[in-house]
Structure 1
Amino acid sequence: MSPVDVDAAPATFRPTSDLSQETLDYFGGDDLRARVFFDKYALRDPRGRVLETVPPQMWRRIAREIASVEPTAAKQAEWEEKFYWLLEDFRFIPGGRIMHGAGNPKRVTLLNCFPAGTPVLTKRGFLPIQHVLPGDEVLTHRNRFKLVTHVMERETEEPLVELAVFYLGDQSIRCTPNHRFYAYDPSGSTRWVRADELTKGHYVKVDRITETIPLAELDLLDYLDGGGLEEDGSVYTAMPYVGGNGAVGVKETRRVKRRVALDEQFGRWLGFFVAEGGVTDNSVYFTLSKDEPHLAREIAGLTQSVFGLDASIQERADQPRHWMRVYVHSRVLVRFLRMFFDGRTESHEKQVPQWFLRMPQSIQKAFVGAVFAGDGVISEKSVGLFLANPGLIRQIYTILFRLNVVASVRWEGMLRYTKHRGMWINVGTQPYADAIKAWIRGDFAVESTLVEVDKNYFYKVLDGDLFIKVKQVTYAAAEIQTVYDLAVEDDHSFTVCWLGAHNCYVIPVRDDSIESIFDWMREAARTYSLGGGVGTDLSVLRPRGAPVNNAARSSTGSVSFMELFSLTTGTIGQSGRRGALMITIADSHPDVLDFVKVKRNLTKVRYANISVRVSDEFMRAVESDREFPLGFANEHAEVSRMIRARDLWSELIKGARDYAEPGLIFWDQIKYWSTSEYNGMGVITTNPCSEIPLEPYGNCCLGNVNMACFVSDPFGAQPRVDWERLEPALRAATRFLDNVLDYNADKHPLPAQKAASLKSRRIGVGFTGLGDMLIKLGLKYDTDEAVGFVDQLFERIKNVVYDESVNLACEKGVFPAYDADKHLAGRFVATLQPPVLERIRRHGLRNVALLTVPPVGSGAALAGVTSGIEPIFDRAYVRRSESLSQETFKVYHPLVREYMARFEVEREEDLPLFFVTAHQIKPEMRVKMQAAIQKHIDHSISSTVNLPRDATLEDVERVYLLAWKLGAKGITVYRESSREGILITEEQAAAQSASATPVVEERRAATPRPRPKVTAGRTERVETPRGRIYVVVNEDEWGVCEVFVHSLDVEAEGVGRLASLALRGGIDPREVIEQLWRVQSKEVAFDRSSSGTVVRVTTIAQAVALALGRALYGEDFRPDKEFPRADVLPAPVNHVRQQTLKFAPNAGVASGSEPIPEVGIARPTNGEAAGNSDHSARMEFIGICPDCGAQLVHENGCAHCPSCGYSKC
């Protein structure tokens, strides 16, 4: 086999659009689960290619990454396997950001980058960083090659750090200030140090190749392109010829050994060729000084020994008595060398194959000795080498480091006898120079050892590794440029210019000032950009009408800033997902009534959840129908007034019933049971879905135990909870999330978030699949028996998890802010069993709080179980086909499908009573279940009480009052159809369909309107997977009338012609956009609009839809982010004349408008307003899934999509 084959090509990864059959097969054909995994959690490279096709690959990645923070290699290996077991079969479902982020530095290394051109050492050699691809292997700080999983790039205009170290001459390294290098610290330790923190007292590690490839010989037949012949162990070529008399003969070349041993002789011969050799069409030659006859004789002897070829030594004809040449006449050898050197045999371009950098050291010693013998400068104390071939110099320099030789390298200008700029290698330290001299003499047994010599202050040797002293650290001038970073598996580092480089919440509004508000926006934007969500409380801001110290007479109030916060959230996103935001306000704030009503305008605060922090005092005032004081006071303003408590209460109830917001947070309950009300950990608001109350800059670390996995003998005679596996899972989950805190410590967007996270070590062991567990146990969700069972279940869970936190405290230490007396005085801790309490007294806790019930959303859909503590929402869902027909089909909940198949049940009506759904359960029972669990949860619970569409205000009020009285910390209700577009039951769908059956009227066929002689429009260049295309969108006086597509792909023209036909035939352009966007492929391209908005495009049809959408809605049109449903897109605006277009829904002539012959479009009249509506309002209805355009379900305190798995939370 040719050594070129040793380095296999980068792995072939799957493009991202179409669902992998391998993925679908793994999930047993369950399209929803497979799609959730494939689209949301499978690891991808920046080009969108899938690196993980089945969950075991994801589980292994997550387990390895989270175990990596364990202190020893043995512990890491042990916990990687235990975490894998925990994750396997979805026993434990980490928070979505953990599943997506662990081992995926895409969101955490975005700022740590190098500019284009920075050389990175790969198995393909030194490559400019922008040319490194996922699948390449790079040298890491552990002196081994590891796989690149991602290549990231971004634009920056920040000044870059320029790092210069000794021995690399003028080879300075430029990088962003916070990129880290592995360095020896002046304090005497080795660690990763930011570039802008390096000083002249640091020494940076040199990475060296230690791997050796097991390659024993070369087969010259592999280098002859199939044109070689073999005979008696030799290889030759033959060519027919015609003689002068017409006779036909065959001319054979000289025989050459077929198999060439890769040994010291080959290495030496190769070194001489690199230094002194060249080729013609028929010969190989070596040019030597007349003073080097001994080298000429050695080369001739090596040629015979290695290849079996004779060589001749001749004086050079054009310069006799000065130069001599060694000639080897062999076309086979010429062909071998040209292929061996990849066609580059000139002196300024020769480079050895990259696999040669990993050959046995004895062969490399022979090679280095010959190169220095041929082209070196030898003196008593040093050796040097100059070549007008920088690429080859870098290879030799890399080999010298591998051979434990410390050398320096520097650029040189073009010398008199060269046309190419050259580089010098100089070895000036005696032990290393002596080793090279021995290799020049042919003594390859001599070893070089890294040692520190007297009076040398420029390098250090630590544990066999070389560290070179920093020369200087400066800043380059700021300029706009593209910078890059790599994600590398396992070692998370790569080699740049021989040096080791690392690869890559609640935010309070602090005070009542405009500066604080904009500080919040900056910090929130940074958090969103790195995948985080944010919660904040407005109660610190002065109310509407309060005096201000600026040009305004009075404050616009706290509510006026909600839209600003919301737009920040909607604008900044990561991985195509908007940030998540929870805004709260105290019930006593004077703006609370405005707050409660703000989202009744569907165009306002579209990117935030809102909740009111309700006090016990307010609830008692409601019960007794008393007045309730509102007030605000700080050094700038003081406002107070009284309101009737039930007036505010009525607005809260109305908002919940009719608009599904705001939610209620029973704040006194939260503070009363909080375990963190000391040492600066007091909670001030909640995370975006309200299941975690948080301190300033506190953050969530969530994962969910899948309760459905822990039932023995499900549906059997004696089903039971499988505690033999559940308890180990709970303990492993606690350690897993505690490890996440350390794994994520340096990845927080803000330093304050890191500090808060490590100070309290707050985690949230959550739960999902409870509804499925009860069904497997034969318990009906809405029974006192089920509530009592769940109460006992979570009592035991609570004690197991707290006991494990004690174990972690014994092993790793208590959380930094722990105070035994204050913590043990907490009311929740007092509910633990006496043995656990005693252990806490003796050893403390690792985590300030441990338990929660978050909305699981996509994670539950991925696992195929009920979400959180919810019952089954519905036994079956109606899903829409992705085909043009948009047909619908029924999909059963996985456990329903499993039961029906196992017990041969054919009709849903024949299912047992314990298959009860959310809509069949009385609201009071939902509240009782939540309250029973809340007793054993130190944080809070995100859950939704689903109400029928005919629920009254009194029904909502009963739910709220019961939740407060039973000790719930918060409550969310959702009345069916309280927001437009929510999923409806199958029966209601059928009834609506029947009532909406249209009366069949005779209709004439629509015919395309004539194309006018002159149209106005725009031409846009769009990137597609098939190359760049140009899309022309033209408009006549009635609107968009035609689309032209210019492309090398001739079928693209057909897309434009059919789109034009539809548009001129009266078809709403929104329908055209939707249908074209539904055409997807396996390929991906990214197109950037003139405003900088980047859109993912998979087909030419999608490119046409994109261009059409931009023409109608502007440059920020994002069909890949918000699915372009025709019935959701706003009415288009004619961008040429800014006239509102009207489209008749049935292709008939609109009443009261001037008809266009044979076309169902209304001509705009002179009195119509021009584009003054809010076009984005309908795009943001809660009922529409932004990923697939289907309708959303509201459960577990969050909206999610049963069709594709999208989750708003």
Structure 2
Amino acid sequence: MELAPQVLDTKKTYSNEEAVKASTEYFKGDVLAATVFVNKYALKDSEGNIYEKTPDDMHRRIASEIARVESKYANPMTESELFDLIKDFTYIIPQGSPMTGIGNPFQIASLSNCFVIGNNGESDSYGGIMKIDQEQVQLMKRRGGVGHDLSHIRPKGSPVKNSALTSTGLVPFMERFSNSTREVAQDGRRGALMLSVSVNHPDAEGFIDAKLEQGKVTGANVSVRIDDSFMKAVRNNETYIQKYPIFSENPKFSKELNAADLWKKIVHNAWKSAEPGILFWDTIIRESLPDCYADLGYKTLSTNPCGEIPLCAYDSCRLLAINLFSYVVNPFTKEAYFDFELFKKHVAVAQRMMDDIIDLELEKIDTIIQKIDEDPEEAEVKRIERNLWIEIRKKAEEGRRTGVGITAEGDMLAALGIRYGSKEGNEFSVNLHKTLALAAYRSSVELAKERGAFSIYDAKREENNPFALRIKENDPALYNDMQEYGRRNIALLTIAPTGSTSILSQTTSGIEPVFMPVYKRRRKVNPNDKDVRVDFIDEVGDSWEEYVVFHHKFKLWMEVNGIDTSVNYSNEEINELIEKSPYYKATSNDVDWLSKVEMQGAIQKWVDHSISVTINVPNDVTEELVGQLYMKAWEVGCKGVTVYRDGSRSGVLISNDKKEDKTEEVQKETSFPTKRPQTLACDIVRFQNNKEKWIAFIGKIEDRPYEIFTGLADDEDGILLPRWVNDGFIIKNRDEKGNSRYDFQYVNQRGYKTTIEGLSYRFDPVFWNYAKLISGTLRHGMKIDNVVDLINSLQLDNESINTWKNGVARALKRFVPDGTEANGQKCTNCNSTNLMYQEGCLTCKDCGSSKCG
């Protein structure tokens, strides 16, 4: 049973400042790690009271709860043993939801990181679609990331028996599901959604294009499920037949196309915007042990938002990472080696802990169902939500799926003196993941002996599965034991992205190489600071000091090799350091791309779920190269792949005339609602004019400015807004007289909502009236650069109004899409009129001069 609330009530609570300070000491000065821990994982109640001062407190909470489950079974591990394995993020790291939720009595939430929902393609009615929409929202409010597939929705133009007569196709529903994700995300943790569709679906091209239109489907990742027959048609330049229902022998609708043409569309969009991702669906199904039980409800439908867990409808998974760096003995020395014996021992324990966490999850689901039952709504209102959790509980108990993974692959190789991406590095990594897989499966078989196999285990069903046959070939004794005793868990392994986990463990993320071993960061200089160095002054007059930041394990390499880490090295000296280190030619942008794909394919053979990995390529690579990487990924056995071209996420626009030439691209205007929504997301922009500090509140719809309120910022006593607040919401209300009032709301550092009432009361009425005028032009769809031109052209006699006018123009410039031509303005350096906007600044394409004021 979880810790009783009355026990926690007697415990000491901490302020945010106390917890961050103590955790910063715990992380040896790493403020980012301390802040991530306190904000995301430290136990806190709904009032913002913090009950855990450092990660030691969190790890004791987790160890206590897992030990409680262990006590129900034979040969239980003790709380002390468990704590020693998870403390300091050294060996075993429960990820995300388990870290937050285990032993947490204040939050009624799932311990699962990932869910997939769906109806197995049986229904594409409005009722079925709305059911999925509600299920998605219900899961997201309990902290889960969600995936679902849209291949069951009939294509555009299909006949329907309602007033519309024909179907709208699946693209409008992409927007519905995306918007639902954003609605859940408006307050607190952002939702995460994966939408997928089969390339065999006749609307696949519309699905692929949907995210290229600015402001559309912004709340979801999208991936295309690609089958082997399509890939062969691409390679052989053959035709391919799309069908609805997909792959039907008697389709209601079919369409023949040249596979290479659709492939080029997929590749072009991935090159342009890093989406869609690709899921090699036949490889996923062929390799999947759960799909051996497809007729019993384990048919894989889609993946979680990052793609590392393919799941059947209503199944879920919890994640845990093993810190590979910690198994390197004598790191960064000639005597370095990997302790495989300790690693195998800990993998077995990690798998055991994951099985314990399933029991804890079942308890959490029971609490969720009890909460639903106790809610005052009518049973019919609660029916979908309640049935959803009953389905999820059934799958969790029946299949007992786990997600044991790793982090720090890049740091591990560097510590061994092996270059990431080299032939030696790839061979070592493959052997390591093979060792991990066999140890985890051995642990699951031993658990089956002690606790019983997952309830539908059937050795006969799995005898031709490629993954099972790989186990048979490499460890016949394990395979024979598994056939005799079964295993505890239907599927075991994954490699997830470990963003927050890698921050806390101070390592490289997941399977990825280091992004940058050394970089420079700027710190704003307070005018009252003494004895500080000013390296940079920005366009608003603020001073900044530059300082060197070392990746944690790069810094350790320096210390091991007697290199001073306290020096503020120049860029040239930094480059010299990197060249001497084991991280040289081993960063995200250095690694040979084809080698990384081959490494992923080889490791995938020892990961029964999938791998979340990104192939980073420079901005100037060709679409042809992206296509080659995708093709290679299929050929070497990857289950999915994402290629990210540097800078491809910025300025993603769709051409009105569908031409491919970049010079023909024009901004597609946003169609704003005729009535202002009650709540708008808001960006805060601070600027300086004539030594006065000003502030702008910019309300947005789909990341495009909709309204602006500005005035002098009162930074002296913080009455208006703390400096650390950069965003929030503008809420339209009415005062006691019934007049419109615009309030600003943000979440303070303790997690409470703070509201500043009446932005209109805070500013000079003259500025307020001009702001309403400018907001009117924004709301009626005028392009941002034209609004800026309009503001600049205002002829105003009052000096303070002119000062304000310049600041407003500066605040809005940052929203002008990169590459927008600046009409009627001249370069102050060379007098050229060939100017364009770049990151809010006017840049001359002739001389390169840039003006941000």
**Shift of residue 1134 of structure 1?**
2.6
In structure 1, the residue corresponding to 2:196 is in which secondary structure?
A: strand
Conserved? CA contact 1:1077–1:1105, under 8 Å: no
Residue correspondence of structure 1 range 861-880 to structure 2 within 5 A: 861-880=503-522
Question: In the alignment, residue 671 of structure 1 is paired with which amino acid?
Answer: I
Residue correspondence of structure 1 range 1156-1195 to structure 2 within 5 A: 1156-1159=797-800, 1161=802
**Shift of residue 821 of structure 1?**
0.9
**Shift of residue 879 of structure 1?**
3.8
Match of 1:817 among 456, 463, 486: 456
**Shift of residue 14 of structure 1?**
1.8
**Shift of residue 1155 of structure 1?**
2.6
Question: In the alignment, residue 715 of structure 1 is paired with which amino acid?
Answer: F
Match of 1:897 among 555, 559, 576: 555
Change (3 A) 1:895 1:961: same
Match of 2:138 among 498, 517, 526: 526
Match of 1:1152 in 2: 793
**Shift of residue 75 of structure 1?**
6.0
Conserved? CA contact 2:74–2:450, under 8 Å: no
Match of 1:690 among 307, 317, 326: 307
Give the Cα separation in 1 of the matches to 2:72 and 2:753: 51
What are the Cα deviations for residues 785-836 of structure 1, in whole angstroms up to 9, with x where unaligned? Answer: 1111112122221111100000000010000121121123321011111111
Match of 2:318 in 1: 701
**Shift of residue 689 of structure 1?**
0.9
Question: In the alignment, residue 577 of structure 2 is paired with which amino acid?
Answer: D
Match of 2:433 in 1: 794
In structure 2, the residue corresponding to 1:107 is in which secondary structure?
A: coil
Question: In the alignment, residue 901 of structure 1 is paired with which amino acid?
Answer: E
Match of 1:961 in 2: 631
Match of 2:282 in 1: 668
Match of 2:414 in 1: 775
Match of 2:480 in 1: 838
Q: In terms of Rg, which structure is larger?
A: 1
Is 1:929 matched with 2:546? no
Match of 2:673 in 1: none
Match of 1:620 among 227, 232, 240: 232
In structure 2, the residue corresponding to 1:845 is in which secondary structure?
A: coil
**Shift of residue 10 of structure 1?**
4.6
Moved more, 575-584 or 616-625: 575-584
Residue correspondence of structure 1 range 544-559 to structure 2 within 5 A: 544-559=156-171
Residue correspondence of structure 1 range 701-1100 to structure 2 within 5 A: 701-748=318-365, 750-832=389-471, 833-881=475-523, 885=542, 887=544, 888-905=546-563, 907-908=573-574, 909-911=576-578, 912=580, 914-915=582-583, 916-980=586-650, 1005=690, 1040=709, 1055=718, 1075=723, 1077=725, 1095-1097=746-748
The TM-score normalised by the length of structure 2 is 0.72
Moved more, 637-646 or 792-801: 637-646
**Shift of residue 719 of structure 1?**
1.6
Match of 1:26 in 2: 26
Match of 2:772 among 1130, 1134, 1150: 1134
Match of 1:87 in 2: 86
Give the Cα separation in 1 of the matches to 2:108 and 2:9: 28
Question: In the alignment, residue 751 of structure 1 is paired with which amino acid?
Answer: I
Give the Cα separation in 2 of the matches to 1:879 and 1:751: 49
**Shift of residue 575 of structure 1?**
7.7
Question: In the alignment, residue 583 of structure 1 is paired with which amino acid?
Answer: L
In structure 1, the residue corresponding to 2:166 is in which secondary structure?
A: coil
Residue correspondence of structure 1 range 475-554 to structure 2 within 5 A: 505-509=115-119, 511-554=123-166
Change (3 A) 1:1110 1:890: farther
Is 1:47 matched with 2:42? no
Conserved? CA contact 2:430–2:602, under 8 Å: yes
In structure 1, the residue corresponding to 2:240 is in which secondary structure?
A: strand
Change (3 A) 1:73 1:1007: closer
Match of 2:256 among 623, 636, 642: 642
**Shift of residue 697 of structure 1?**
0.5
Change (3 A) 1:1149 1:797: closer
**Shift of residue 774 of structure 1?**
0.4
The TM-score normalised by the length of structure 1 is 0.52
**Shift of residue 690 of structure 1?**
0.9
Moved more, 707-716 or 539-548: 707-716
Conserved? CA contact 2:59–2:83, under 8 Å: yes
The root-mean-square deviation of aligned C-alpha atoms, in Å, is: 4.0
Change (3 A) 1:620 1:1104: same
What are the Cα deviations for residues 835-883 of structure 1, in whole angstroms up to 9, with x where unaligned? Answer: 1101111211101111110111111111100111111011124445477
Give the Cα separation in 2 of the matches to 1:8 and 1:34: 22
Conserved? CA contact 2:453–2:488, under 8 Å: yes
What are the Cα deviations for residues 285-337 of structure 1, in whole angstroms up to 9, with x where unaligned? Answer: xxxxxxxxxxxxxxxxxxxxxxxxxxxxxxxxxxxxxxxxxxxxxxxxxxxxx
Question: In the alignment, residue 261 of structure 2 is paired with which amino acid?
Answer: D
Question: In the alignment, residue 81 of structure 1 is paired with which amino acid?
Answer: S
Give the Cα separation in 2 of the matches to 1:556 and 1:717: 64
Match of 2:376 in 1: none
Give the Cα separation in 2 of the matches to 1:861 and 1:1100: 21
Give the Cα separation in 1 of the matches to 2:55 and 2:8: 26
Residue correspondence of structure 1 range 211-360 to structure 2 within 5 A: none
Conserved? CA contact 1:65–1:103, under 8 Å: yes
Answer 1 or 2: which has greater helix percent.
2
Match of 1:1124 in 2: none
In structure 2, the residue corresponding to 1:689 is in which secondary structure?
A: coil
Moved more, 1141-1150 or 847-856: 1141-1150
Conserved? CA contact 2:445–2:481, under 8 Å: yes
Give the Cα separation in 2 of the matches to 1:923 and 1:658: 18
**Shift of residue 101 of structure 1?**
0.8
Identity of aligned residues (%): 33
Conserved? CA contact 2:745–2:755, under 8 Å: no
**Shift of residue 1041 of structure 1?**
6.3
Give the Cα separation in 1 of the matches to 2:269 and 2:177: 21
What are the Cα deviations for residues 559-580 of structure 1, in whole angstroms up to 9, with x where unaligned? Answer: 1101110111111149811221
Question: In the alignment, residue 558 of structure 2 is paired with which amino acid?
Answer: M
Conserved? CA contact 2:437–2:607, under 8 Å: yes
Change (3 A) 1:73 1:543: closer
Change (3 A) 1:66 1:1004: closer
Residue correspondence of structure 1 range 103-122 to structure 2 within 5 A: 103-108=103-108
Question: In the alignment, residue 409 of structure 2 is paired with which amino acid?
Answer: L
Conserved? CA contact 1:86–1:733, under 8 Å: no
Question: In the alignment, residue 862 of structure 1 is paired with which amino acid?
Answer: L
Moved more, 78-87 or 659-668: 78-87
Change (3 A) 1:578 1:1005: closer
Moved more, 552-561 or 44-53: 44-53
Change (3 A) 1:834 1:74: closer
Give the Cα separation in 2 of the matches to 1:807 and 1:932: 27
Give the Cα separation in 1 of the matches to 2:163 and 2:816: 32
Match of 1:188 in 2: none
**Shift of residue 46 of structure 1?**
2.1
**Shift of residue 683 of structure 1?**
0.8
**Shift of residue 1095 of structure 1?**
4.2
Residue segments in structure 1 that go unaligned for 5+ positions in a row: 1-6, 111-504, 983-1002, 1010-1016, 1018-1037, 1045-1050, 1060-1072, 1081-1086, 1113-1131, 1165-1172, 1179-1190, 1192-1209
